[in-house]
A and B are shown apart, each in its own frame.
Chain A
Amino acid sequence: MEIIFDNISNKVFHNLSFKIKEGEIVGITGTGKTTLLKMINYILPIEGNVTYKDIPYNKKNEYEIRKKIVLVESSFQHQFLVSTVKEYMLLLIRYYKINIKNPEKKVLAALKMVGLTEHYLEKELSTLSSSEQKLLQISLALLANPTVLLLDEPFMNLDMKAQKKIERLLERLKERYQKTIIIASEDSNLLYNLTEKVIFLKNGTILRQGKTTELYQNVKFLMKYNYQVPDIVLFTYKAKELKNAKIDYHKDIRDLIKDVYKHV
């Protein structure tokens, strides 16, 4: 197990228990998701039984945990007075005291991991588009070689092309580099498509957790607790409920169309 929360309570949450396996893509949705990400990242203090790979969350391990579990915030905020991508990355390595023999090489490798090329090194931060900013944010997060990436609303402000690019990147980070990926989002279409497991938060605790397909295909549950139903699921649900249609739930709209074609 990568991360274990065992019955954690604080000002915001009560009785939080969950386990996250290595190399999983997990979604978190509902009120308090950003706070929970910050707890997993250990920026917010936690007391109780929380471990990362059997290492307990405490003052002594704080720094190590934060290097291994990195948070990519919803928007790119840079407070340093530097202008280019390279300057920013080098400064960050010093700021976080990441022990690297050859920082320039590391910077280039981190950029390449997210699919940005060498010529981005000399680009001004202010000239980056929102999708380039998001890729840079992820590459910055990878500098310390973490095993867990936490992403807060990663697709805010991105168009479809950029969103697809980041989705593929996250899948690649999981497949090729065995990264664990935790995404906090309100976008049910995104979570339904991208994640394997999902945690639903409500009133300061976990209402349900489990397999993404099972939970997101449980339309009555989603409606009862006011969660957004993925579009494709809602359509299938209505066809089944209203018309007794013999179609199945799908993730890809083309599969759905084929199924509809067979059954109308």
Chain B
Amino acid sequence: MNSIITIKNLNYKDILKNINMNIKENQLVAISGSNKCGKTTLIKILSGLLESKETILLEKHALSSLSQNEVDKKVGFVIPSINMPFLFKTVEQELKFILNDLEVDKENRKKRYQKIVSIFKLRGITKKDPNQLYPFLKIKVLLALAVIKKPKVLLLDDIFAILRPKEIKEIIDILNVLKEELTIIMTTNHLEQTLYCDYLYILNEGSIVLKGLPLEVLQEDSLLNKMGLSLPFMVDLSLKLKYYELLDKIELDMDRMVNTLWK
């Protein structure tokens, strides 16, 4: 698999220290850590919102050598904490405005619009005012706006904070479809949401302290707890049952776990 983003020895003020990352194409990558670990700053640097002279390669080009316009084309982002009002009165107008930047003919633009509306299940709300939508739909519209112009990378900063578990699951499922055409990097301080990602980085006080497949990283329960992160319920339960030798591996499915315990 090719790398899409390579970060070498990134330092930023006192916030990020010696960050090295190698993000592979078409993966869903999670960055987690407690409040103030530096994850939002990292997303802002990758999206070009904060400037950094350090070596970050985006498809083998130094990020700092690209113009804002070029970065915008390749990178889409959703950062709900920067609360930007929508420009237009309907979701459809909003999407079509961004679509105009896509350098393809009218027919393909139409196809792209239809595809995005269908992936995000927006059909029922295209005529609604995006500023009036409730949080779940607003986040979906923000995501649709970020991916409609076909970026290579999608950066998401803590987009699940105000959503319910079912809504979060639906969005993670959508992200897993989207990664066929792009690479996604998302931050969250809830490890529950990293379970269905391909790779996980844990940041603490600005440094990467753990990385790997989510299920491997999540085995480091005492270290994670010390950093203020709580394990997903099923992982926590599995590890505790393992300790009492009632289980021999992590089991995420509750029915299967019950069946293993009470044969």
Contacts and interface: CB of A to CB of B under 8 A. Distances in A.
Interface of A: 74, 129-131, 153, 156-162, 186, 189, 228, 231-232, 234-235, 238-239, 242-243, 245, 253-254, 256-257, 260-261, 264
A253 B189 contact: no
A153 to B, nearest CB: 7
Interface string B30-57: 0000111000000000000000000000
B189 A159 contact: yes
B92 interface: no
22 contacts: A156-B161, A158-B35, A158-B189, A160-B230, A162-B228, A238-B254, A239-B258, A239-B261, A239-B262, A242-B258, A242-B259, A242-B262, A243-B261, A243-B262, A245-B258, A245-B261, A245-B262, A256-B237, A257-B240, A257-B241, A260-B261, A264-B262
Contacts, number: 78
A253 B164 CA distance: 22
A239 B261 CA distance: 9
B34 A159 contact: yes
Contacts of B259: 242-243
A234 B254 contact: yes
Contacts of B236: 253
B137 interface: no
B107 interface: no
A260 B254 CA distance: 14
B161 A157 contact: yes
Contacts of A153: 162
Nearest to B228: A161
Contacts of B261: 239, 243, 245, 260, 264
A222 to B, nearest CB: 13
Contacts of A186: 164
Contacts of A235: 233, 237, 254, 257-258
Contacts of A242: 255, 258-259, 262
A226 to B, nearest CB: 9
Given A242-B255, A254-B240, 14 more contacts: A74-B162, A129-B36, A157-B35, A157-B158, A159-B34, A159-B35, A160-B228, A162-B34, A235-B258, A242-B258, A253-B233, A253-B237, A253-B240, A257-B244
B66 interface: no
Contacts of B34: 159-162
B229 interface: yes
Given A186-B164, A261-B244, A231 B35 contact: no
Contacts of A129: 35-36
Given A257-B240, A264-B246, A160 B229 contact: yes
Contacts of B233: 189, 231-232, 235, 253
B230 A260 contact: no
B235 to A, nearest CB: 11
B241 A162 contact: no
Residue from A242, A254, A260 with most neighbouring chain B CB atoms (10 Å)? A260
Contact of B164 (A160, A162, A228): A228
A245 B230 CA distance: 27
Nearest to B163: A186
B76 to A, nearest CB: 23
Interface in B204-263: 225, 228-230, 233-234, 236-237, 240-241, 244, 246, 254-255, 257-259, 261-262
Contacts of B124: none
Nearest to B162: A156
Contacts of B240: 253-254, 257
Given A160-B228, A160-B230, A261-B244, A228 B237 contact: no
A260 B246 contact: yes
Given A234-B254, A245-B262, A264-B261, A131 B35 contact: yes
A205 B127 CA distance: 30
A169 B86 CA distance: 38
B253 to A, nearest CB: 10
A75 B56 CA distance: 33
A191 to B, nearest CB: 13
Residue from A234, A238, A254 with most neighbouring chain B CB atoms (10 Å)? A238
A243 B246 contact: no
Contacts of B254: 234-235, 238
A158 B161 CA distance: 9
Contacts of B35: 129-131, 157-159, 162
A186 B229 CA distance: 20
